[in-house]
Amino acid sequence: MNKNWSNLNKEFQNHFKKENFGQGIAYLLQLRKTLFDFVCEMKANLTLSAFSQQPFFNHKGYENKTIAYSLYHIFRIEDIVANILINGQEKDLFLGKDYQKRLNSPLITTGNELVKEEIRGFSEKLNIDALYEYITDVYQTSNNLIQSLSFENLNQSFSKNDKERIQKAKVVSLNENAQWLIDYWGNKDVKGLLKMPFSRHWIMHIEACERIRRGIKKN
């Protein structure tokens, strides 16, 4: 794991006690900014075609995907969790602001159901400029949510109705590779969600993006 990202993640988790909760939030936001800056740097330095390349197609790790898919997946999940699960809305940003059309996305789901060639085909369809508009919107909206939290909010749990709201929105595929997500998120409290997907999930996939980027350059 990138040492700076790892250290920020540790500091965020170590400071999530009542007496230093504000500092914990600050570390979380700093981690997210550092990671988001890296994501923006990729757009400045890569060709559009690079976003749909799959140099590690046969690997078993997250680097077997594409950069476009990875970014879509990170922020699609965060959008669903922040807005439909935590904020209790019927629609997330993707649905409410017609991002499916803007991105030219064949999906409204998280993309967990896609494998191998399907990931590349999906990535080639995406409008990368619109994808970056979407991830910026999610990033800023989630940061506002994070900044609004009190220490007492961390223990907020979720009900069967909360899970059903996600199901009703059809933003998680019925495929077995995706359907488990609803229980995975819904069985956590807010504190657990801040760790996954609001921080660690980013690190996992953005580190994979860096491996993909290096693989593209070697080719």
Which of these, 119, 193, 202, 213, lies nearest to 153 by C-alpha position? 193
Can you give the pTM of this predicted structure? 0.96
Radius of gyration, alpha carbons of the chain: 17
pLDDT, one tens digit per residue, over 128-141 is 999 999 999 999 99
pLDDT of residue 97: 98
Q: How many CB atoms lie within 10 A of CB 88?
A: 11
Residue owning tokens 């997500």: 181
Q: How many Å apart are CA 78 and CA 55, to the nearest integer?
A: 26
pLDDT of residue 37: 98
Is the separation of the CB atoms in 65 and 49 below 8 Å?
A: no
pLDDT of residue 45: 94
Q: How many CB atoms lie within 10 A of CB 64?
A: 18
Q: Which domains does the chain have, with CATH numbers?
A: 3-218 (1.20.120.450)
Mean pLDDT in consecutive groups of 10 residues from the start of the chain, 219 residues: 89 91 96 98 95 92 95 99 98 98 98 97 98 99 98 96 98 96 98 97 96 86
